[in-house]
Structure 1
Amino acid sequence: MTADTAVLPTLLTALRLPSIARNWKRIAEIADRDDWPAARLLATLLEIEVADRTSRRIQRHRDQSGLPAGKTFATFDFNVATGVRKNHLLALGTGDGWIETGDNLLIFGESGTGKSHAVAAIGDALIDAGRRVLFTRTTDMVQRLQSARRDLALAATLDKLDKYDLIILDDLSYVRKDQAETSVLFELISHRYERHSIAITANQPFSAWGDVFPDPAMTVASIDRLVHHATIIEMNGESYRKRVAVARVKGKDSASDN
C-alpha cells in the first residue's frame, strides 16, 4: 500500500464517507484493470456513497415514523377493500400533487375495513419517496399536545412537528371532548393548514365530530380547514378482522370433519 492509499481510511473517516471507505479498494481494482478515467472512478464512488446515505436516511425516517410494522401496499388486500381503487392509493403513495401543497387525506369507514392499513401503506410509500411521516393514534397526539400546553411549549411543539410532511392521526373518532383541552387538536389542524398535510382515519362521519371538539364553532372550523384541500375516501364493506375470524373458524371445522 502506498503512502497515498494508506492515509485514505483516515481521510474518509474524517469526511464521514463510510460507504466509500468500505468500497474504494474493490472499485479502484476494477478501475485499474479496466483503465477507467479518473472521473468515472470518482463518480462511481460518490454514487455508492449517495445511494447508501439515502438508504440509511429512509430507514431512519421509517424507524422514527411510528408506522405499524407490516402495514404496506404489499400486504394490503385490494380485492376486499370496498370503496378504494388500487391505482388511486398507489398514486397517493407517491405524494405527487398533494404533499407538496399541504393537502389532506380523510379516510372514513367502519371498524376493521382497512382504513389504518391503507393510510399506513401510503405513509410507508411516502417515506420511500423521501418524505417524512409521523403515524400516531389521535388520542396519543392529543395527550402530547396537552402536555406541551401545560408546559407552555405548545407553539414550539407544533413547530417541531413541521419537519413531518405528513402527520397521520389514526382513529380520530376515539377522541372525546370530555378530555381536558381537546382544543389542542384544532391548534394542530390550524397550524398545518395549507402548509403541511394531515391524514385522518375515522369511523364516524363529520356529523358526529361534535363529540370530538369542545364546541360547535371549533368543530365547523376544523372540518372546514381539513376538507378545503382534501382527498376523501370512504371504505365500506365487512370488517376484515371479522372475515379472518370466520375463515379461521371454518378452517377448524373442516379440520375436525377430516
Structure 2
Amino acid sequence: MNSSYSKLIENLEYLKLSQMITHLDETIDFMNHNQLSFAETLIKLTDYEIDMKQINMVKSMVKVAAFPHLKEVKDFDFLFQPSINKEQILDFTTLRFIERKENIVFLGSSGVGKTHLATSIGIAAAKKRTSTYFIKCNDLILNLKKAKLENRLEARLKHYAKYKLLIIDEIGYLPIDAEDAKLFFQLIDLRYEAKSTILTTNANFKSWGDIFQDPKIANEILDRVLHHATVINIVGDSYRLKDHIQIENKKS
C-alpha cells in the first residue's frame, strides 16, 4: 500500500494535479466509509482539480479584461440611484443581451455609477468565460491612432472586434477629431450585429456630432450603436459623493 500510495503521489506531482494530492487522503477515507466504487472515487477526486481550474480560469478572464476595479452588481447602492431598474441590471448579468448581440449605453452625468454598472456586467460576463475587455474611449482612440501610424490598424481593429463584450468607457469626456472618429466608426462597424458593446457617456446623443467633430460620422456611429441597444439614462446625484452627501444630510 505504501509503495502504491507513494507512486500515486509521485504520478500526481508529475502531472501537476495539486488539488488531487491535497484531497487524496480525505477522499480515500470517504471512499472506505461510504463504499464508493473506483469510478465514483475518481470522479470525486478529479472534481477538486476541475473546481480549482475553473476558479483560476475565472480569475484569468477577469484579469485579462483589464477592469478598472472589481466592483460587482451586489456592491451597487440601488437605493441611492432610484432611476436605475435593479431587475433590468440583474437581467443584463444573465448575458442574454450578448447572446442577442445587443448593446447597452449608460448615459448620465459624471459620478452617477455608469462605470460601476458597466464593469459589474463585464465581470459577470468574464466569470462565465465570455471574452470581455474594458477600455476608456481616449485610450482606445490613442491605440488605434498608433496602430494606424505603424501600419497595423487592421490587426488592432480585429483585436478589439474579437471580444464578445467590449466596454468603452467615458465617451464624450474628451473631444475626438474627425480622422479619429473614422477609426472609432470602423471598430463600431466591425462589431455591428456581430458582438455586444457597452458604452458609457456623459453626453446626450444630440451632442455626439460635436464630440466627434463630424455630424455624419457621429450619426453613422449612433445608428449602429443604438439599432440593437438598451439605453440606461441615469438621473441622480453623484454616486461617488454619496457618502459625503449622506454625512451632510445627517448633520442638517
Verify same fold: TM over 0.5: yes
Show the 5 A alignment for 1:141-160.
141-160=140-159
Name the SS of the counterpart of 1:123 in structure 2.
helix
Equivalent residue, structure 2, for 1:198: 197
CA contact (8 A) 1:94 1:129 kept: no
1:161 and 2:160 correspond: yes
- 114-123 or 13-22, which deviates more: 13-22
**Cα distance in 2, alignment partners of residues 242 and 36 from structure 1:** 58
CA contact (8 A) 1:101 1:195 kept: no
**Cα distance in 1, alignment partners of residues 177 and 162 from structure 2:** 30
**Cα distance in 2, alignment partners of residues 11 and 155 from structure 1:** 47
Aligned-partner residue type, residue 181 of structure 1: D
- The structure-2 alpha-carbon separation of the partners of 1:26 and 1:248, relative to structure 1 and needing over 3 Å to count, comes to same
How far off is 1:207 after superposition? 0.8
Equivalent residue, structure 1, for 2:49: 49
Equivalent residue, structure 2, for 1:87: 87
**Cα distance in 1, alignment partners of residues 101 and 147 from structure 2:** 24
Name the SS of the counterpart of 2:105 in structure 1.
strand
Name the SS of the counterpart of 2:81 in structure 1.
coil
How far off is 1:126 after superposition? 2.1
Equivalent residue, structure 2, for 1:123: 122
- The structure-2 alpha-carbon separation of the partners of 1:21 and 1:155, relative to structure 1 and needing over 3 Å to count, comes to farther
Name the SS of the counterpart of 2:172 in structure 1.
helix
Q: Which runs of 5+ in 1 are unaligned?
A: none
Q: Identity over aligned residues, as a percent?
A: 28
Aligned-partner residue type, residue 65 of structure 1: A
**Cα distance in 1, alignment partners of residues 114 and 73 from structure 2:** 13
Aligned-partner residue type, residue 26 of structure 1: E
1:173 and 2:172 correspond: yes
CA contact (8 A) 1:83 1:233 kept: no
- The structure-2 alpha-carbon separation of the partners of 1:13 and 1:188, relative to structure 1 and needing over 3 Å to count, comes to farther
How far off is 1:209 after superposition? 0.7
How far off is 1:165 after superposition? 2.0
- 173-182 or 59-68, which deviates more: 173-182
- The structure-2 alpha-carbon separation of the partners of 1:137 and 1:179, relative to structure 1 and needing over 3 Å to count, comes to farther
**Cα distance in 2, alignment partners of residues 235 and 144 from structure 1:** 29
CA contact (8 A) 2:108 2:235 kept: yes
**Cα distance in 1, alignment partners of residues 224 and 62 from structure 2:** 28
Count of aligned pairs between the two proteins: 252
CA RMSD of aligned residues (A): 2.2
TM-score, reference length from structure 1 = 0.87
Aligned-partner residue type, residue 135 of structure 1: F
